[in-house]
Chain A
Amino acid sequence: MIKENKLAELSLLEDHLLRINTMKISGIILLAGLLLSSCKDIITVDLKSGETHLVVDAFINNSGATQTLRLTTTADYFSNTNTPPALGAAVSLTDLNANKTFTFSPDGSGNYLYVPQLNDSMAQIGHNYQLNITYNGINYLALSKLNRTTKVDTIIFKNKKGGASDTSEKPKKYFPYLIARDAPGGLDYYWIKTYKNGNFYNGPGELNVVQDAGGVGTDGIFFIPPNAFFQLTPGGDPCYFLDACTIEIYSINSDTYDFFLQLQTQMQNSQAGLFATAPENVRTNIKNTSGSGMKSIGWFNMGAITSKTVIAK
């Protein structure tokens, strides 16, 4: 039984590998495209307005720093500004194992904050958590287990292309390579987040989630490419000489892993061209428990975090 499950998980991993390589496959589509002068252009489309949904963006960690959870509402697709904040909600987090509740306070801009007190054990590995939100009299709930993570040993740089000198017109590009080992035993899922000078690389192609160290049969070993090696969204900016590069390993659970894969597929849909996946609504784990009123979307994950910063040189 355990073996069967493991195989199912393995197949998920391979699928992930295939997705990463759709970029390469699009190479031949490109070749075919050259032949037929295929093209992409931006056009104007009239879209209807949708119903407004509450959007929960709740990724909480055990770093001990101030935890921020953001509540917004959906907006018109072409509104081209940040979506409006959802103000006046009551937000709390319950540790179902320790039976303790932590209340988040609004900052008036849609963010809800909790400042952990010393030794208040707000985020414990292995515990189950429940997020409780009341907004406009409607109750919302989400569940997440806080899984273990693993330590970032170090970061090395692989410089792909670039000039001989660090300061030439075509400066050397530094691509971080993560040296870390998957926690042995069990199935672990991680979100590997890369930052340059404190700015998170948030390109859709830079979204890096992984099961164990990089797929089937990678339990307990060092992270392997493509997950270990920073994948820059084409046209994005890599690290240059003396940039501070940070890699964070944030633990997620298998549902969050699926959520990110789906989000990534949907965000990069147009790149697959002929073989794009049909547009889908990205899943949510937020439930409206009142049974009526505004619907909810978004995601809640409790995770453990480790990180390291290295200067590119």
Chain B
Amino acid sequence: MKKYLFTLCLSLFSLSYFSQNISISGYVKDSANGESMIGVSVYKQGTTIGVITNVYGFYSLTLPKGQNTIVFTYIGYKNKTVEIDLSANTTLNIEMPEEGQNLNEIVVLSEKEDLNVKSMDMGTIKMDIKQISKIPALLGEVDVIRSIQLLPGVTTVGEGATGFNVRGGNIDQNLILLDEAPVYNSSHLFGFFSVFNPDAVKDVKLIKGGIPAQYGGRLSSILDIRMKEGNSKKLELNGGIGTIFSRFSIEGPIIKDKMSFIVAARRSYIDVLAKPFIKAKYPDLANAKFYFYDLTAKINYRINNKNTVFASAYLGRDVFGAGFGFDWGNATTTVRWNHIFGEKLFLNTTAFYSNYTYKLSFTDESNNQGFDWNSKIINYSIKPDFSYFLNARNTFHFGGQSILMEFQPGNATVTSGSTKTNIGLPKKFALESALYFDEEFKVSSRFSINAGLRYSFFDFMGEGNAYTFYDSVPNSHKRFKDSTYYSMFQSIKHYGNFEPRLSMKYELNDESSIKASYNRTAQYIHIVSNTAAATPLDIWTPSTNNIKPQLADQVALGYFRNFKNNMYETSVEVYYKAMQNQLDYVDNAQLLLNKYLEQDLLQGVGRAYGVEFFVRKTKGKLTGMLSYTLSKTQRKVIGISNDQWFSNKYDRPNNVSLVLSYTFNKRWDISTNYVFISGTPNTFPDSRFQVQGYTQGYNTSGLRNNVRNTVYHRWDLSATYNFKKNDRRRWQSSIVLSVYNVYARRNAFAIYFQANKDNPIQTQAVRYSIVGSFIPALTYNFKF
């Protein structure tokens, strides 16, 4: 590895001598609203010399001295051709206009046409907010996370469950970034709605494999969500009145073309609507609090050609209560600074703060009893990230990141009469850091390679106590042995991991390519959850002297092909992922307020493999995507399931999803989606026993997740009517009618086995369906 680094450094220096070439760089923006454009293709006409704009819309291209013709292309936008006589390094900022509203040219995905085949990315799917908003949604709410769940390789443990599982990984193995700050819980109302306001989202990228070296800290995926910058040309209002939420956003320039802002807010109001009904039917819940909201804001300032700063903030909370309080939410703040050194070196420095807080409390006033509990995870981070555009064939990325993490596993007080007892747990601290470097190298016009290395290191540190435990029989509590005190910032346990990353692409011809990738990822923090779906109250724990970091190695191979002049994008990918130190739990584990949490945790190995087929059509009157995934995900933990491999609770071998949208005319759009997914694995009893008058099931085989729940399938529909636009006024509006679960299937979230309440001798299987019927909804959207 050292040799490799040395060679790279050498090449960096030697290549910089070829400087008859001249750099041209700048930003590419949308001429209508000034939003920076990600993924615009910039190339010298008639050659393959070219680059793609980065996430900030920046490009840098090295070209020979003299007359050059540069072409900017982006699907759905008019090509821009610039003739320029290059004599010295040049800055060229471009604004691109959208193509006219020709119905046959409707495009839902804005990116370069042949990117599917030509880019280095594999295991990566980009979804534009335009595309997401076409998918029929639960209760008509356009939803980022639920749309992600329709992609190949993505599953969940069931409807309404928090989070998602990527290529057989647990929900905590996804790094969800909102403008580069991690979001610890992406859900409102458990998992029914996601916390991202679609009016403020610009684009969403899911990376399942071939993860670049700049990303780390989670094993299985990166979900990179970028917020809009705000219209820098004119003031714009967007809003909607839906069944669940009311949405409103305002964006506009503060200094035209230099400084703009966006503020977007949502609040649910089902509590208001349901109140009379609840009062009549469930008087106990008459005073129930039941709402969720989020607020997103962003401001950016382009100081000059070399410097741009961004500040974004997010605040979201779910509030529930009825004689008890239950609320949770994320808050994030990100400040970023883009700086360009010369024409070739681009620096983005991100500093963020992220806070996930969750609370639970009950009061019993008649008996003067109370219980208050809250938990937090706070991150402070700084992340400088450099891109060096050496020439048309070599681009380097390097940088680092440091995250200071504070865990509050539980502050808790019990009130009994006039006495308050604090039963909280002390805070835990950790520092996670990384250094990385990679090189994108175009070996030939057909073959490219991206090789990188990330070194991540982690310290579990004081102030606090570190515990040791006696070994125990597998799958039983480990007994406490000893405790040692560590002072503030004193390292209790240090871990370090080299994470090599490699992707390769070979273009067979203009329509098809083969790609391969390998990546190792390390994860130092873990969610602790042993319930069917993760709850918003699940605590996060750092790696400690007893909990080892999770590691994964993934290899993937893919064939990518476009048909009919890039009208259809298709791909087939196979992957195999081996995982170490997967977290599991002893039976009857005590996970809340357990000072010795580690005594109830187990770690084992995991493996996941599968094949993903994907077809997408992004142009024309009919657009959509079809995917099929055949996969398996298992784990082996000593002490569980007779020490044999068993299926993870999110193992769903067959997964089909189809999304189609059709535009009839300027007024009418319809969309539909259909999903068909294998049932989740479950542990069924094979026997019953009786003790003290209680009848209980027992699984004598001892095998976990040995049976599968019934198949899940669902069909959704939506129709959109766009009201006639008044030419004199800017007001535009549309109405969306959607039906979720059209044929009212009662899909089993789980099947439980229990004794009949009235006759305990009688045992029964109970199917629990989260959605028991079809759900219609109406949403009105407006734009001004």
Interface of A toward B, CB cutoff 8 Å? 4-5, 7-8, 10-12, 14-15, 17-18, 21, 24-25, 27-28, 30-45, 47-53, 55, 57, 59, 72, 74-83, 200, 202-204, 207, 214-218, 224-226, 229, 233, 235-236, 258, 261-263, 265-267, 269-270, 272-283, 295, 297-299
From residue A131, how far is it (CB to closest CB) to chain B in Å? Answer: 14
When the two chains form their complex, are residues B423 and A82 in contact, meaning their CB atoms are under 8 A apart?
no
Known: A21-B362, A278-B531, A279-B699. A8 touches B772 (CB 8 A): no
Which of B85-93, B550-558, B756-764 participates in binding chain A?
A: B756-764
Closest residue of chain A to B771 (Cβ to Cβ) is A36
Alpha-carbon distance A262/B750, docked complex (angstroms):
20
Closest residue of chain B to A280 (Cβ to Cβ) is B587
Alpha-carbon distance A17/B533, docked complex (angstroms):
21
When the two chains form their complex, are residues B531 and A233 in contact, meaning their CB atoms are under 8 A apart?
no
From residue A136, how far is it (CB to closest CB) to chain B in Å? Answer: 17
Closest residue of chain B to A264 (Cβ to Cβ) is B694
Which residues of B are found within 8 Å of A35, using beta-carbon distances? 139, 270, 274
When the two chains form their complex, are residues B594 and A50 in contact, meaning their CB atoms are under 8 A apart?
no
When the two chains form their complex, are residues B775 and A36 in contact, meaning their CB atoms are under 8 A apart?
yes
From residue A89, how far is it (CB to closest CB) to chain B in Å? Answer: 16
When the two chains form their complex, are residues A217 and B369 in contact, meaning their CB atoms are under 8 A apart?
no
Closest residue of chain A to B585 (Cβ to Cβ) is A278
Alpha-carbon distance A4/B483, docked complex (angstroms):
9
Which residues of A are found within 8 Å of B704, using beta-carbon distances? 278
Which residues of B are found within 8 Å of A41, using beta-carbon distances? 746, 766-767, 769
When the two chains form their complex, are residues B322 and A47 in contact, meaning their CB atoms are under 8 A apart?
no
Total A-B pairs, Cβ < 8 A: 277
When the two chains form their complex, are residues A235 and B771 in contact, meaning their CB atoms are under 8 A apart?
no
Known: A21-B324, A50-B698. A279 touches B683 (CB 8 A): yes
When the two chains form their complex, are residues A53 and B689 in contact, meaning their CB atoms are under 8 A apart?
yes
Alpha-carbon distance A285/B754, docked complex (angstroms):
23
When the two chains form their complex, are residues A77 and B414 in contact, meaning their CB atoms are under 8 A apart?
no
When the two chains form their complex, are residues A27 and B762 in contact, meaning their CB atoms are under 8 A apart?
no
**Shortest beta-carbon contacts, A-B, top 5:** A50-B686, A50-B700, A39-B772, A270-B752, A50-B687
Closest residue of chain A to B284 (Cβ to Cβ) is A27
Alpha-carbon distance A72/B691, docked complex (angstroms):
9
CB-CB contacts of B299-330 with A at 8 A, as 1s and 0s?
Answer: 00000000000000000000010111010000
From residue B374, how far is it (CB to closest CB) to chain A in Å? Answer: 13
Which residues of B are found within 8 Å of A215, using beta-carbon distances? 414
Alpha-carbon distance A38/B773, docked complex (angstroms):
8
Kindly identify, within residues 730 to 784 of chain B, every residue whose CB is under 8 Å from any CB belonging to chain A. Answer: 746, 749-755, 757-758, 760-773, 775
B97 in the interface (beta carbon within 8 A): no
State which of B594, B688, B753, B767 has its C-beta within 8 Å of the C-beta of A75: B688
From residue B597, how far is it (CB to closest CB) to chain A in Å? Answer: 9
Closest residue of chain B to A49 (Cβ to Cβ) is B686
Alpha-carbon distance A30/B369, docked complex (angstroms):
24
From residue A225, how far is it (CB to closest CB) to chain B in Å? Answer: 5
Size class of the contact patch on chain B: 35 or more
State which of B139, B412, B530, B758 has its C-beta within 8 Å of the C-beta of A277: B530
27 A-B pairs within 8 Å (CB atoms) are namely A7-B595, A10-B423, A14-B414, A15-B594, A21-B362, A24-B362, A25-B326, A34-B278, A35-B270, A38-B771, A39-B769, A47-B686, A50-B686, A77-B687, A79-B688, A207-B694, A225-B369, A267-B696, A273-B768, A274-B158, A274-B535, A278-B649, A278-B704, A280-B587, A282-B696, A298-B691, A299-B691
Alpha-carbon distance A31/B190, docked complex (angstroms):
12
CB-CB contacts of B639-680 with A at 8 A, as 1s and 0s?
Answer: 000000000010000000000000000000000000000000
Which residues of B are found within 8 Å of A31, using beta-carbon distances? 274, 278, 285, 288, 290, 320
Known: A14-B593, A74-B700, A283-B587. A43 touches B766 (CB 8 A): yes
CB-CB contacts of B588-611 with A at 8 A, as 1s and 0s?
Answer: 101011111000000000000000
From residue B303, how far is it (CB to closest CB) to chain A in Å? Answer: 47
When the two chains form their complex, are residues A32 and B285 in contact, meaning their CB atoms are under 8 A apart?
no
Closest residue of chain B to A55 (Cβ to Cβ) is B689
When the two chains form their complex, are residues B698 and A275 in contact, meaning their CB atoms are under 8 A apart?
no
Which residues of A are found within 8 Å of B270, using beta-carbon distances? 35
When the two chains form their complex, are residues B698 and A281 in contact, meaning their CB atoms are under 8 A apart?
yes
Which residues of A are found within 8 Å of B764, using beta-carbon distances? 42
Alpha-carbon distance A27/B373, docked complex (angstroms):
19
Question: Which of A36, A83, A204, A226 has the largest count of B CB atoms less than 10 A from its CB?
Answer: A36
When the two chains form their complex, are residues B771 and A50 in contact, meaning their CB atoms are under 8 A apart?
no
Which residues of B are found within 8 Å of A298, using beta-carbon distances? 689, 691
When the two chains form their complex, are residues B590 and A11 in contact, meaning their CB atoms are under 8 A apart?
yes
When the two chains form their complex, are residues A37 and B192 in contact, meaning their CB atoms are under 8 A apart?
no
When the two chains form their complex, are residues B412 and A14 in contact, meaning their CB atoms are under 8 A apart?
yes
When the two chains form their complex, are residues B532 and A278 in contact, meaning their CB atoms are under 8 A apart?
yes
Kindly identify, within residues 688 to 740 of chain B, every residue whose CB is under 8 Å from any CB belonging to chain A. Answer: 688-694, 696-702, 704
Known: A21-B324, A32-B192, A37-B775. A224 touches B367 (CB 8 A): yes
From residue B292, how far is it (CB to closest CB) to chain A in Å? Answer: 11
Alpha-carbon distance A216/B559, docked complex (angstroms):
61
Alpha-carbon distance A230/B504, docked complex (angstroms):
67
Alpha-carbon distance A83/B690, docked complex (angstroms):
7
Alpha-carbon distance A42/B684, docked complex (angstroms):
15
Alpha-carbon distance A262/B475, docked complex (angstroms):
14
Alpha-carbon distance A80/B760, docked complex (angstroms):
9
From residue A133, how far is it (CB to closest CB) to chain B in Å? Answer: 15
Known: A4-B480, A59-B692, A278-B532. A34 touches B274 (CB 8 A): yes
When the two chains form their complex, are residues A36 and B770 in contact, meaning their CB atoms are under 8 A apart?
yes
Closest residue of chain B to A201 (Cβ to Cβ) is B693
Which residues of B are found within 8 Å of A42, using beta-carbon distances? 764-767
Which residues of A are found within 8 Å of B587, using beta-carbon distances? 262, 280-281, 283
Closest residue of chain B to A202 (Cβ to Cβ) is B693
From residue B264, how far is it (CB to closest CB) to chain A in Å? Answer: 24
B42 in the interface (beta carbon within 8 A): no
From residue B744, how far is it (CB to closest CB) to chain A in Å? Answer: 9
Given A76-B686, A272-B531; 15 other pairs, CB 8 A cutoff: A11-B590, A28-B290, A32-B192, A35-B270, A40-B768, A50-B685, A217-B414, A218-B416, A236-B757, A265-B588, A270-B766, A270-B768, A278-B704, A279-B685, A279-B697
State which of A15, A30, A51, A200 has its C-beta within 8 Å of the C-beta of B700: A51
CB-CB contacts of B365-407 with A at 8 A, as 1s and 0s?
Answer: 0010101010000000000000000000000000000000000
Closest residue of chain B to A277 (Cβ to Cβ) is B531
Closest residue of chain B to A203 (Cβ to Cβ) is B757
Which residues of A are found within 8 Å of B694, using beta-carbon distances? 202, 204, 207, 263, 267
From residue A74, how far is it (CB to closest CB) to chain B in Å? Answer: 4
Closest residue of chain B to A273 (Cβ to Cβ) is B768
When the two chains form their complex, are residues B683 and A278 in contact, meaning their CB atoms are under 8 A apart?
yes
When the two chains form their complex, are residues A261 and B588 in contact, meaning their CB atoms are under 8 A apart?
yes
State which of A17, A39, A200 has its C-beta within 8 Å of the C-beta of B746: A39
Which residues of A are found within 8 Å of B369, using beta-carbon distances? 224-225
Alpha-carbon distance A218/B169, docked complex (angstroms):
43
When the two chains form their complex, are residues B161 and A200 in contact, meaning their CB atoms are under 8 A apart?
no
Alpha-carbon distance A203/B757, docked complex (angstroms):
7
B282 in the interface (beta carbon within 8 A): yes
Alpha-carbon distance A269/B764, docked complex (angstroms):
13
B98 in the interface (beta carbon within 8 A): no
State which of A12, A55, A79, A275 has its C-beta within 8 Å of the C-beta of B691: A55
When the two chains form their complex, are residues A72 and B690 in contact, meaning their CB atoms are under 8 A apart?
yes
Closest residue of chain B to A221 (Cβ to Cβ) is B416
From residue A288, how far is it (CB to closest CB) to chain B in Å? Answer: 13
Which residues of B are found within 8 Å of A30, using beta-carbon distances? 282, 285
When the two chains form their complex, are residues B688 and A57 in contact, meaning their CB atoms are under 8 A apart?
no
CB-CB contacts of B182-207 with A at 8 A, as 1s and 0s?
Answer: 00000001101000000000000000
State which of B288, B699, B770 has its C-beta within 8 Å of the C-beta of A274: B770
Question: Which of B158, B533, B682, B700 has the largest count of A CB atoms less than 10 A from its CB?
Answer: B700
Known: A24-B362, A79-B688. A269 touches B752 (CB 8 A): yes
B104 in the interface (beta carbon within 8 A): no
B421 in the interface (beta carbon within 8 A): yes
Closest residue of chain A to B758 (Cβ to Cβ) is A235
Closest residue of chain A to B689 (Cβ to Cβ) is A55
